[in-house]
C-alpha cells in the first residue's frame, strides 16, 4: 500500500537515471511472494514463469518474450533487494488486459537504488539497467516501511 509520505514526493525527479514515481494505476493483483534469502530465487523464477505462462495467450517463445524478460528482471531486482536491502523482499505481480506490473520491495526505505550507469563495472546495479532496457516503464519510490522498484511489460 502507498502511504501519505508519497504525497510529498516530487514524482517527476530522476535519481541516478531511474525515475522517482509511483507505478501506473489500474492493475489487479495476481500473486505475491515473500523472500527471506537468495536460495528462494529459483522457486520465484519457476512460479513466476508458471503464473505468467498461465495468463499468456500462447506458449513461451524465447528470451525476447515478455515472460522471459519479466522473470529475468524479477530475479535481478529481487536478488538486489535481498543483497542490498533489508528482508523480507516482497515481489508482487499485477496485471491489466494490456500489461504486467512487477513490483519488488525491500524494507530499507532509507537507501536509494543505484543505477549501473553511476557505478564502476562489477559494483552492481545491473538489474536496474536491464529493467530500463527490457521493460516498458520503470521507476521507484519509498514509503515509511519499504523501498519499491517497479517495471511494466506488455501482456503478450
- CB-CB contact of 30 with 93 (8 Å): yes
pLDDT of residue 17: 64
Which tens digits make up the pLDDT trace of 1-24? 444 444 444 444 444 567 899 999
**Residue 88, Cβ density class (10 Å: 0-12 exposed, 13-18 middle, ≥19 buried):** middle
Quick check: 70 and 100 in contact, CB under 8 A?
yes
Report the alpha-carbon distance of residue 95 to residue 38 in Å, rounded: 25
pLDDT tens-digit series, residues 26-78: 999 999 999 999 999 999 999 999 999 855 444 444 446 888 999 999 999 99
Indicate the pTM of the whole model: 0.82
pLDDT of residue 5: 42
pLDDT in tens, 114-141: 766 555 555 556 788 889 889 999 999 9
Amino acid at each position: 500500500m502507498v502511504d501519505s509520505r508519497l504525497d510529498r514526493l516530487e514524482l517527476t525527479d530522476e535519481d541516478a537515471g531511474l525515475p522517482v514515481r509511483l507505478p501506473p494505476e489500474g492493475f489487479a493483483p495476481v500473486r505475491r511472494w515473500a523472500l527471506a534469502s537468495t536460495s528462494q530465487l529459483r522457486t520465484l523464477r519457476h512460479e513466476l514463469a508458471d503464473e505468467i505462462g498461465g495468463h499468456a495467450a500462447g506458449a513461451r517463445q524465447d528470451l525476447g518474450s515478455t515472460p522471459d524478460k519479466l522473470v529475468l528482471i524479477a530475479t535481478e531486482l529481487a536478488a538486489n533487494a535481498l543483497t542490498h536491502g533489508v528482508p523480507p523482499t516482497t515481489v508482487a505481480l499485477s496485471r491489466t488486459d494490456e500489461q504486467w506490473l512487477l513490483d519488488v520491495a525491500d524494507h530499507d526505505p532509507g537507501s536509494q537504488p543505484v543505477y549501473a550507469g553511476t557505478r564502476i563495472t562489477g559494483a552492481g546495479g545491473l538489474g536496474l539497467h536491464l529493467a530500463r532496457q527490457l521493460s516498458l516503464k520503470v521507476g521507484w519510490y519509498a514509503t515509511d516501511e519499504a523501498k519499491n522498484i517497479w517495471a511494466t511489460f506488455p501482456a503478450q
